[in-house]
């Protein structure tokens, strides 16, 4: 079966203002709206479109974390994923552990393509896709703004600092998506109802024999400093003087 595996992450909704807890131990999540990471939502939309063009038979959405993530996986099923997998863990997983867990799912599901967002909007790590490709020993195409499949290969247009770059990679491969790849579809009530009947499997992280030992220790969270009031200047010379007074030039 031609299968696409899509990895999604549960994050605070991008419309919500993130607040740091008073004790500095993390961010406030109680009563806060959670959603699928926007880049991962784009990845899921692209996988569904590939299946709708007849180039894939099944789309499987997968995520790692606590039981609450089932809500986001049901949203993925409502969008059009055929199945969903939750790798349950109460630990705060870092990219290396996530990549190893996804590799275990790849071994189980044997997808010809793995798609995920280029980064998550909560930590901005931009690491998991690259790490998965390295562990899987398969090609990767990151920051995709266009994806075309044909004859066992993927032709990917990438957004890089110098503009656009087009590469071709052999399948199976890992692709990470950028914002301009597509616009995800809206969820419709009938699809939300149908999603409740679609299969959602739960696997314990320890069953995958993955080492999830944290490599980093977070000491404290702090909000960014408040932006200082701007200063109006009349010309370039006055701007230089103001910058020198602040020690910036």
Mapping DSSP to helix (H, G, I), strand (E, B) and coil, where does residue 69 land? helix
- pLDDT for position 248: 81
Check residue 193 and give its pLDDT: 93
Angle at 181 between CA 169 and CA 6, to 5 degrees: 65
The residues, ordered by sequence, that sit 6+ positions from 116 with a Cβ below 8 Å of its Cβ are 6, 7, 8, 39, 40, 43, 128, 129, 132, 174, 175, 176, 177
Token pair belonging to 164: 């656009």
- SS percent in the chain: helix, strand, coil, step 5: 30, 30, 40
Domain residue ranges in the chain: 3-214
Q: How far apart are CA 168 and CA 157, in angstroms?
A: 9
Distance from C-alpha of 118 to C-alpha of 127, rounded to nearest angstrom: 8
CATH number, domain 3-214: 3.40.50.620
- Of 123, 85, 118, nearest to 101 by C-alpha is 85
Q: Which residues in the chain land under pLDDT 50?
A: none
Where do the H-state alpha helices sit in 25-145?
A: 38-52, 70-79, 95-109, 128-136
- The confidence score (pLDDT) of residue 3 equals 97
In degrees rounded to 5, what are phi and psi of residue 145? -110, -5
**Residues 220-237: pLDDT tens digits?**
888 888 887 887 888 999
Determine the pLDDT at residue 232: 85
d(CA 129, CA 25): 28
- The pLDDT of residue 247: 84
- pLDDT confidence of residue 231: 79
pLDDT of 63? 96
Strand ranges for 171-221 from DSSP E: 173-177, 200-204
Cβ(147)–Cβ(207) below 8 Å: no
């Amino acid at each position: 079966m031609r299968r696409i595996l899509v990895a999604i992450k549960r994050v605070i909704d991008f419309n919500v203002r993130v607040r740091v807890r008073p004790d500095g131990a993390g961010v406030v999540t109680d009563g806060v709206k959670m959603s699928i990471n926007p880049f991962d939502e784009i990845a899921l939309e692209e996988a569904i479109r590939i299946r709708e063009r007849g180039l894939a038979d099944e789309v499987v959405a997968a995520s790692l974390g606590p039981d609450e993530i089932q809500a986001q996986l049901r949203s993925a099923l409502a969008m059009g994923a055929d199945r969903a997998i939750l790798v349950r863990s109460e630990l705060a997983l870092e990219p290396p552990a996530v990549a190893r867990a996804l590799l275990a799912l790849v071994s189980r599901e044997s997808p010809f393509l793995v798609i995920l967002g280029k980064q998550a909007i909560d930590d901005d790590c931009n690491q998991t896709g690259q790490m998965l490709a390295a562990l899987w020993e398969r090609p990767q195409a990151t920051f995709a703004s266009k994806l075309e499949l044909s004859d066992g290969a993927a032709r990917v247009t990438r957004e890089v600092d110098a503009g656009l770059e087009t590469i071709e990679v052999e399948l199976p491969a890992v692709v990470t998506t950028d914002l301009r790849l597509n616009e995800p579809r809206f969820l419709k009530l009938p699809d939300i109802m149908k999603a409740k009947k679609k299969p959602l499997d739960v696997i314990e992280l320890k069953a995958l024999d993955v080492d999830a030992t944290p490599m980093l220790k977070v000491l404290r969270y702090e909000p960014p400093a408040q932006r200082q009031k701007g200063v109006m200047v009349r010309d370039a010379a006055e701007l230089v003087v103001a910058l020198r007074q602040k020690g910036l030039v």
